[in-house]
Amino acid sequence: MTLAELNELLVWNCAIATVISVAIYARRPWRRNVVGRQLMAYMVGLALLFSTIVVQMLIGPTVWLPRFSALVFLLYSAAVDWRLYLLVKLGDDFHRHNHQQSPEQETR
């Protein structure tokens, strides 16, 4: 197996794994708090990034793909920035916050 073939195989693996992860996490109560919502945005961004690379590998260069890729990178950058903001804002409570209920859930 060449290095190029290995890279292609790994990209396919990442694309499939991230799409499946989003599908599984979508069945969980990820909307419950800000950390869950951020994690979903982060995972969707990764799934879009890897899926875009797979599409490019399958169909080759197109007119619309660079524009779509730029939009995907913009959205993923926003998710990464949001994660950094939460890490700084919540500090050590970041991971504990993910396991707490939101005020809406506490009143139910």
Residue 26 forms part of a structural domain: yes
The CA-atom distances, in angstroms, between 33 and each of 8, 21, 38, 41, 43 are 36, 19, 9, 13, 16
Residue 39 domain-assigned?
yes
Within-domain flag for 108: no
When divided into structural domains, the chain yields a total of 1
Query: Which residues in the chain come in under a pLDDT of 70?
Result: 94-108
Nearest to 86 by CA among 98, 75, 76: 98
Q: Is residue 12 part of a domain?
A: yes
For residue 99, report the phi and psi dihedrals to the nearest 5 degrees. -100, 0
**Does a structural domain hold residue 106?**
no
* Residue range of the domain that includes 7: 3-100
Q: Given this model, what pLDDT does residue 101 score?
A: 55
Q: Which of 97, 69, 89, 81 is nearest to 41 (CA)?
A: 81
**Assigned domain for 24 exists:** yes
Position 108 scores a pLDDT of: 40
Predicted pLDDT of residue 89: 86
Residue 66 lies in a domain: yes
Report the C-alpha gap between 98 and 100 in whole angstroms.
Answer: 6
Task: Give me the pLDDT at residue 107, please.
Answer: 42
